[in-house]
Structure 1
Amino acid sequence: MTTEKKTYISDSLIHGKGLFAQCSIQKDTVIGYLKGKKTTKDGMYVLWLDNKTGFKVSCDLKYINHSDTPNACYYDDKSVVALRDINQGDEITHNYEADW
């Protein structure tokens, strides 16, 4: 199933727009892969890979908002994976820590 079929964008109670589960997503399922390009400039939707290199996310996954109790995580291969079962309609979240 593609990212587009697993998720949709809607208004978020956390901040602005958010990414939501179109269907139930089981723990350890790959929700999608970040698409974009490397950058050295800070800005909206920039995920920092290290102190000098950012990655400007250009796909729908850029709408994943922060939570201290996230249900998804980004990995070095640019995958976004469910940390626990996510119910249909739940907002998909990640703990930004220092990444954003």
Structure 2
Amino acid sequence: MANSRTRLGNIVYKAPSRIHGNGLFAKVSIAKGDFIGTYEGPQAKRDGTYVLWVFEDDKQPVGRSGRNLLRYLNHHDQGNAEFDGFDLFALKDIKPNEEITFDYGGWEEE
């Protein structure tokens, strides 16, 4: 079970993905609603690989250049996780070795 005190590397790992390149996979069972981790890295000045943008009402978007394992998240229209700011939470129960995905919200390139 994931919680805010669990080290990210203890609950997820990077591996080849059927979706695209490398992906992020669960090492352990993660319950719906569980905190998975925080997207960490320096503030981004422009868009690029592994940059996550957070948009809040009436504020300038804030981006981070991913430096931890969450940078390997892939897109899926019906992802099993979602961000609240830079914090990632499970939208449903995720089994060990299941890829963790989220909906890029229309930002993925075609």
Q: TM-score, normalized by length of structure 1?
A: 0.90
Are 2:70 and 1:61 equivalent residues in the alignment?
yes
What do residues 38-84 of structure 1 show as CA deviations (whole Å, max 9, x unaligned)?
122111001122465421111100001000010001112x2110010
Q: Pick from 54, 67, 70: which aligns with 1:49?
A: 54
Q: What residue ranges of structure 1 are gaps of 5+ in the alignment?
A: none
Aligned to 1:38: 43
Q: What residue ranges of structure 2 are gaps of 5+ in the alignment?
A: 1-5
Are 2:19 and 1:14 equivalent residues in the alignment?
yes
What do residues 4-46 of structure 1 show as CA deviations (whole Å, max 9, x unaligned)?
1101110000000000000111011111111111122111001
How far apart are 1:88 and its partner, in Å?
A: 0.7
CA contact (8 A) 1:47 1:99 kept: no
| Aligned partner of residue 39 in structure 1, secondary structure | coil
Runs of at least 4 residues off by over 6 Å: none
| Aligned partner of residue 70 in structure 2, secondary structure | helix
Are 2:87 and 1:74 equivalent residues in the alignment?
no
How far apart are 1:89 and its partner, in Å?
A: 0.7
CA contact (8 A) 1:5 1:22 kept: yes
Pairwise CA RMSD of aligned residues? 1.6
CA contact (8 A) 1:26 1:86 kept: yes
How far apart are 1:97 and its partner, in Å?
A: 1.2
Are 2:96 and 1:91 equivalent residues in the alignment?
no
CA distance in 2, matches of 1:18, 1:56: 17
